[in-house]
Amino acid sequence: MIRNIKAITAASFLAMFFLGVSSSIIGAAARNIGLSPSQIGLMLTAQNLGFMISVLVSGALADSYPKPRILMIGSIILAISLFAFYGWTNFWVNLAIMFVIGVGIGSYEGVTDAMLLDIHTERGSFFINVNHFFVTSGSIIITVYLIFLQMAWRNAIIQAGIVVAILAALFGLMKLLPHGRKTEPYTKLLRLLARERLVIVLFIASALVVGMEGGTVGILTTYLMDLRGFTQVTSKIGLVVFLTGMAAGRLLLGYITPREQIHRYIVGLFALSTMVFSGLYFLNLGDALYFVIFLAGLTLSAIFPLMLSLAGLIYPDIAGMVLGTIKVAIPIGGILLPFLLALLANYSSFKSALILFPLAGMLGLVLTYFQFKSLKKIEPVQAPE
């Protein structure tokens, strides 16, 4: 049995790396596969639906079952679905497989953070930040890799499946000491927090940010090729630039943001991202387009982590419960905006559908501005009863 904390931590980071790889498959390979904008939206919707179900189930099971065993099962599911993805050409078969891919990566999101908190009690937040940095790293690596593979893109997916299968074997060998921590049932948690306006605003704003991020990852290469004349290679470079901006923003803005100014940074970043995304999708920027793509990733990247940090500061007594509730916004946002994008692209036009991105940013700006405008100082509040 593997009990070494460093080995377990490394396995968690590797799992989140492949979460990033798997969640970016469509964005990186959509044009190689030959998917239309509406089909891309449906693929992303199916993946996030599987992700949402898996996050809820695996998170609940993690309180009473060994976390490495849940991750082992999730890895087996993910490995099999990666091997099968576009082994057949039928779109609807692969839509179902994409749902199962979402189930696999959802187990990683639902369990790894809790596992890191179990084994890193003193610096849990630091390790969780690093854990999610590996998601962005995985998205970047798969995109760069596919630039070189091009039409042999399925080789990359099969290779990822092989590594995930090995990861399943490693999780099967791991054992954690029991912690005996008990949490409230999820239904009770929802009732408890349903009347907390701040939690509701952060939930909706998180769904909007995740939708903008996931939608851009899924649609950017198609946008660059269809509307800006990019090639297979240069469009993937554009996606790498966006993801690099995301990675840089999570490290830089997370480091420089003063604790007492988090709420103001959230509002400011919503305003900046709304302007940048408007320019990205509706202005002909020529040679400056790559720079604006980088800014889009940079301004968007830190909003969600900062909202999680703010929630933890304001509700320190029930931080885990609040953060868990807000995290449900990840798959909801990942489903809603791509689904609306698919509908608009199908019944109107691809170009007109892109208005959803600045509209989502504007809605997030309005919600957070009116929620935080009277908040002069961040102070902990008593847990709701």
- In the chain, domain spans: 1-174, 186-377
DSSP assignment of 163-186 equals HHHHHHHHHHHB-----------H
- Find the mean pLDDT for residues 107-132: 72
- Find the mean pLDDT for residues 325-345: 82
Asked, colleague to colleague, whether 1-174 and 186-377 share their fold, the answer is yes
Band (pLDDT 50/70/90 cuts) for residue 384 is low
For residues 330 and 51, the answer to whether their CB atoms sit within 8 Å is yes
Q: Is 2 helix (H, G, I), strand (E, B) or coil?
A: strand
Q: Degrees (nearest 5) of the Cα angle 342, 346, 349?
A: 100
pLDDT in tens, 140-172: 788 777 777 665 778 888 988 999 999 999 998
- Find the mean pLDDT for residues 326-345: 83
The model's pTM: 0.72
Please give the structure tokens belonging to residue 174: 């791991």
Distance CA 263, CA 367 (A): 12
Please give the structure tokens belonging to residue 353: 């559908």
What type of residue sits at position 354?
L
Residues listed for the chain: 385
What type of residue sits at position 239?
L
| Residue 345, pLDDT score | 85
Distance CA 44, CA 296 (A): 20
Least confident of 118-132, 258-272, 344-358: 118-132
- Domain 1-174 sits in CATH 3.40.50.800: no
For residues 133 and 247, the answer to whether their CB atoms sit within 8 Å is yes
- Find the mean pLDDT for residues 98-111: 90
- Find the mean pLDDT for residues 37-65: 80
Residue with tokens 């074997």: 169
- Find the mean pLDDT for residues 213-223: 86
For residues 333 and 23, the answer to whether their CB atoms sit within 8 Å is no
- Domain 186-377 sits in CATH 3.40.50.300: no
